[in-house]
Structure 1
Amino acid sequence: MKSSDNEEELILEVNEKQGHFLNAVVSKHYKMAGMVGGRGSGKSISLADLLKIASEEMPKAKCGWGVKTVAKAKSKLTSGLKARWEKGWKCSEYDFKTGQGDYVLWREPPKTFDRAYEAPDNWENCISFANGFIIELEGFKLSSEENRGANFDMYVVDEGLNFKKAWLTVVLPTLRANPGLFSSYLHHSFFVFSSPPWTPDGQWMYEIEELAKKEPENYYFMEVKTVDNQAFLPADYIPDLKRILMKMYFEVEVLGKRISKLPKTFYPSFNREKHVLEDHDEDDRLQLDGALFYNSKQYLVASCDFNAHFTSATIWQEDYEYGRLVDNVFVKEAQEGGTMAQALATAIGERYSSHTKKRIILTGDRNGKNKSAGSNRTMYEQVDAILTEAGWDVVSAPITYNPLHKDKHNDINRLLAEQVDDQWRIRIDGVRAKATVISIENSPIQPDYSKDKSSESGDGEQERATHLSDTVDYYIIRRLKTGLARATEDFEIEFY
């Protein structure tokens, strides 16, 4: 293969699976081709290589790239593309000061660059190469219908597990640009790359595999495991993943074990698309129904779970319509001379030191009313004391009872299903509280309707275990039992 600015042949280093995939799609035309691979398997490298090959084979062509949101895709994907093109292809980003470079990101290219046959009017979502080849990002979460009517010579999707099958009805008809103009087998092909899907929404990629069995002349599918890329990974990469990941995650994301759906879960009514807001950066001023998701001028609710080796809290703000899970805070070890409860309180105080309305309701684990080792005060009293010293008005309102397992399971899932008129709803900041989302999704159910807490044993990442999901349970139980809690001006609790 040759780079765009150097006629000497390049030796492109790829693993065996990557080589088979690239050789297959450049030597025969497929309507669809898919690659599903685990952590470190090299699928992103294959995507970068495919795009660079396409730029060489189809000058002045336009390739669409479907993503959930353009802003997030730019921030997450650009560095990987640049690194691969620089190292593997000796291809560098254009410098407008020196006039040197091979491609331009997110702005109109210089006049020395050729223009695509169907050049865009707006270049802010485009990567353009000197020979006129263009890659144009399209966001689908907020405006899928706006993408209808485009014309592309090729189309790619990265992380197909987040791309809805319904969006393909918008994408596939756009593969119609410049018929007969290019001899490349990539022309008018659709490609998807992805991590293994965890939810039913991402299972559509495996339909490509079934189509490839029935129509191998039109469809191609490859599955890549982490071990397939071992030559390009640190020697201890897989053993380290096995040590830090929970068994289920390791089996799926490293060993390539497929699951048609998650294990029977404690939260069957939980739906990431509905309950989680995750297409934003941590510093974004996230909004819900036109109001700030996190409001510094509103009091906080901390739903706590106390354990010897992992003490945690989810941070909430609430109104009559929503319980907004704005954050999660956890500690894994106590400070010298202190307790885990004190370490959690310190972490909350530091995280929210700039919070304007320094009023907080402590709720959660009723065992927190017990005294902990190293203190003659209860765990709630310890949290209260540290936050009070930091200038907070604190109201303690822990759970005082435990409902039956089946009742708790049914009540929580009835709320999550949102089928009762005028009932409040849960929404979660999926960026700041990502660990809680994972904890919810990794909470199997036992035959007696209790939550399977086996993930809390062992050396795995405890933020991915069921601890944080317990704090969600506590918040929902407290609010369903007592109603909306507000701290009044005399710092007592009133329930509405």
Structure 2
Amino acid sequence: MYKMQNPKNIKKIDLTVPQAHAFINMKQKNYWEWGRGSGKSTGLAYGARKQVVQMPRASFFLVGATYSQILSRTLPSTIEGLEMFNLYQDVDYVVGRCGKKHGFDMPFQPPNQWNNIIHWSNGAIHQLVSLDNPNTGRGLNSYGGIGDEAALLDPEKLYNNVKTTNRAQKEIFKNCSMLGAEIYASSTPINKKGKWFTDIEEEAKKRPDLYYFSKSNAFWNPHIRKNWFDEMKAEAPSELLYNAEILNIRPKEITDGFYANLNPDKHYYTDHNNTYLETIGINLNKQGNFNSNQDNDVLHNEPLIVSLDFGVFNSLVVSQLNSNEYRVLNSMWVKSPKLLDDLFIEQFIPYYRPHQNKTIYLYGGHDGNNHLPNSHLTLFEQVRDLLTNHGWTVIIMSRGAAATHFDKYLLLNAMLKGQRNLPRIRINESNNSDLIIALERAEAVESLSGVDKNKKDERNKEFPQQHATHLTDAFDIPIVTMYNDLFKGSNAFASEFGIRIS
């Protein structure tokens, strides 16, 4: 790097003990389970810098779970971390284009396109690889790489799309300590899918010559201002999140789950419209860009199923039927002082503005049919009128009393298990992070009726309500309304709704 060779640009950077230990003990496989404020961005920037300085003109990977994640979170934090080492965008590197016209050297293997490339002035490149699009890593012959928010990565896709590309070597690099090195950093996972990341710790104990695993929290960081921890503890939605995100304490697993057959590998998916995301590129966060155009799983010419759970905490879940799959596309929520109207006006309506078929089948608890105080409208009718004023057609689908928790438990677990005469449940992982945590943490308790969903967290004001059972109720209602009679042997509801199960 030309700029780093200039003595005037030498900069002293104080490392934390975990950072220094990680840098000194760098292995071929490096996993850092570091909480917020522990210096992950600085550490990853140092790793990227060391790769580039040691191996000019070489190719590396920068991997994320989705292109959306890379553009909105990983890339900005990486750019900020690089500035700590006097490496600046459009000076030492360019993003999304070739730097040849700026006098940059060219890599050994120039890519066919540059829109997902960080091009360094000494010819090295980092290729942005999103695991939801295997084409982004196609043809890559890498000498190493980095991954942020690693607990979100799918380990099978990581192996197939990234790890297998880390095979390049040249005689001139044979003594480089970073040759083939991979660095993955993440705070501790709070859902089941991230468990693979923490499981690496045991592998590191068995093979310390190949693996380095580090755990740290922000108490090691002397640069955090004095009252930050007290503020984070006071403002944390729950002790669980404070412990996981700040203290790096792994959450206790739920053993008696209400959704006992929920399996991340079987039921979660990602399906972004990466062509759209690549077109808007680093402008992803500009107003109006972040909408349903980025979702490749939405049938834009088909109605949406919207289910509500309302109260002080208001939430909704958006779904669609797609052949023999019941797809949970999205979920949204607001808490007091914001109201249900705010949920639709600020989130749902802008996000689904590009949707072509503006028809909604509206579900929710049966108490939504009660008239509101000082109004002739029910809650459902109020929502219907609001959406109608924004160009939507709303069909209210709420029917009678709610099914028992035991009915829900039996039906949902039969569907999650894959009962043949019922559709398969699939959940968009990128758009339903809070719903997924709520589903995974919902507990089942025995009752006189059989099994109930434990609602204790809804009554706990200290618990983050987006991770309580509100969203799970919105998830349940349309499924149970549409399929419970079919599950029990009656096709009455299936006929009424025009449902055909192949």
Q: Calculate the TM-score normalised by the size of structure 2.
A: 0.79
Q: Which residue of 1 aligns with 2:452?
A: 450
Does 2:188 align with 1:196? yes
Counterpart of 1:472?
475
- Give the match for residue 130 of structure 1: 121
Corresponding residue for residue 50 of structure 1 = 47
1:203-218 counterparts in 2 under 5 A?
Answer: 203-218=195-210
Aligned residues: 470
Q: Deviation of residue 51 (structure 1)?
A: 1.0
Matches within 5 A, 1:90-489: 90-94=86-90, 101-110=91-100, 112-143=103-134, 147=138, 150-166=140-156, 167-168=158-159, 171=163, 174-179=166-171, 181-229=173-221, 231-232=223-224, 235-236=227-228, 239-240=231-232, 243-259=235-251, 261-272=253-264, 274-278=266-270, 280=272, 282-285=290-293, 293-295=298-300, 297-307=301-311, 309-318=312-321, 321-333=324-336, 359-373=359-373, 375=375, 378-384=378-384, 386=386, 394-417=394-417, 419-421=418-420, 423-448=422-447, 449-456=451-458, 457-481=460-484
For 1:269, what is the secondary structure of its paired residue? coil
Q: CA deviation at 1:35?
A: 0.6
Q: Against the structure 1 CA distance between its residues 354 and 189, is the aligned structure 2 distance closer, same or farther, given a 3 Å change threshold?
A: closer
Structure 1 unaligned spans of 5+: 95-100
Cα shift at 1:18: 1.5
Query: Post-superposition shift, 1:85?
Result: 1.8
What is the alpha-carbon distance in structure 2 between the residues aligned to residue 38 and residue 323 of structure 1? 36
Partners of 1:343 and 1:69 lie apart in 2 by 28
Q: Tell me how far 1:475 sits from its aligned partner.
A: 1.1
Deviation string, structure 1 residues 253-287 (Cα, Å, up to 9, x no partner):
22222257455422233344554454546425256
1:12 corresponds in structure 2 to 13
Distance 1:197 1:179, change over 3 A: farther
Write the distance in 1 (CA, Å) between the matches of 2:271 and 2:304.
24
CA RMSD, Structure 1 to Structure 2 (Å): 3.8
Is the 2:143–2:179 contact (alpha carbons within 8 Å) kept by the matching residues of 1?
yes
Distance 1:474 1:157 in 2: 38
Equivalent-residue separation in structure 1 for 2:333 and 2:383 (angstroms): 13
Distance in 2 (alpha carbons) for counterparts of 1:109 and 1:200: 41
The CA distance in 1 between the partners of 2:136 and 2:104, in whole Å, is 31
Give 5+ residue unaligned stretches, structure 2. 278-289
Q: 1:158 to 1:319 in 2, by over 3 A?
A: closer
* Secondary structure of the corresponding residue to residue 450 of structure 1: strand
1:12, CA displacement in angstroms?
1.3
Query: Is 2:314–2:340's contact at 8 Å kept on the other side of the alignment?
Result: yes
Distance in 2 (CA, whole Å) between partners of 1:240 and 1:55 is 36
Q: Structure 2 vs 1, CA of residues 108 and 403 (structure 1 numbering), >3 Å: closer, same or farther?
A: same
Structure (1/2) with the larger helix percentage: 2
Query: Are residues 107 and 294 of structure 1, via their aligned partners in 2, closer, same or farther at CA, if it must alter by over 3 Å?
Result: same
How far residue 342 of structure 1 moved from its aligned partner, in angstroms, is 6.5
> d(CA) in 1 for partners of 2:387 and 2:165?
58
- 2:318 partner SS: strand
Matches within 5 A, 1:45-84: 45-70=42-67, 72-84=69-81
Who is 1:98 aligned against? none
How far apart in 1 are the matches of 2:31 and 2:403? 47
Paired residues of 2:129 and 2:136 also in contact (CA < 8 A): no
Equivalent-residue separation in structure 2 for 1:425 and 1:234 (angstroms) = 51
Counterpart contact for 1:200–1:260, Cα < 8 Å: no
Asked which structure has the greater CA Rg, the reply is 1
CA contact under 8 A between 1:160 and 1:205: conserved in structure 2?
A: yes
Residues 387 and 5 (structure 1 numbering): CA distance in 2 closer, same or farther, change over 3 Å?
same
- Cα displacement (A) at 1:381: 4.6
- Asked if the contact 2:60/2:143 (under 8 Å) is kept, the reply is yes
Separation (CA, whole Å) in 2 of partners of 1:450 and 1:133? 57
Partner Cα distance (1:485, 1:388) in 2: 29
CA offset digits 1:207-249 (Å, max 9, x no partner): 5433443443433221121333363357335533553333323
For the residues of structure 2 that align with 1:284 and 1:349, how far apart are their CA atoms? 10
Is the Cα contact below 8 Å between 2:64 and 2:74 reproduced in 1?
A: no
Between the aligned partners of 1:240 and 1:373, the Cα distance in structure 2 is: 38
Distance 1:187 1:464, change over 3 A: same
How far did 1:438 drift? 3.5
* TM-score normalised over the length of structure 1: 0.79
Deviates more, 1:380-389 or 1:253-262: 380-389
Deviation of residue 147 (structure 1)?
Answer: 4.4
Alpha-carbon spacing, 1:20–1:485, altered in 2? closer, same or farther (3 Å): farther
- Kindly indicate whether the alpha-carbon contact (under 8 Å) linking 1:333 and 1:343 is maintained by their aligned counterparts in 2: no
Question: 1:366 Cα deviation (Å)?
Answer: 1.8
Identical counterparts, % of pairs: 25
SS at match of 1:89: coil
Name the CA shift for 1:319/1:306 in 2 (closer, same or farther; >3 Å): same
Change over 3 Å in CA distance of 1:70–1:179 after alignment to 2: farther
Q: CA deviation at 1:4?
A: 1.6
User: Which amino acid letter does the alignment assign opposite residue 160 of structure 1?
Assistant: A
Letter in 2 for 1:128: H
What's the secondary structure of 1:415's corresponding residue? helix
Aligned equivalents of 1:19, 1:470: Cα separation in 2: 47
Q: Secondary structure at the match of 1:232?
A: coil
Q: CA deviation at 1:413?
A: 1.9
CA shift, 1:466, in A, is 1.5
Q: Distance in 2 between matches of 1:208 and 1:430?
A: 23
Aligned partner letter, 1:442: R
Q: CA deviation at 1:412?
A: 0.8
| 2: CA distance, partners of 1:319 / 1:165 | 27
Is 2:388–2:394's contact at 8 Å kept on the other side of the alignment?
yes
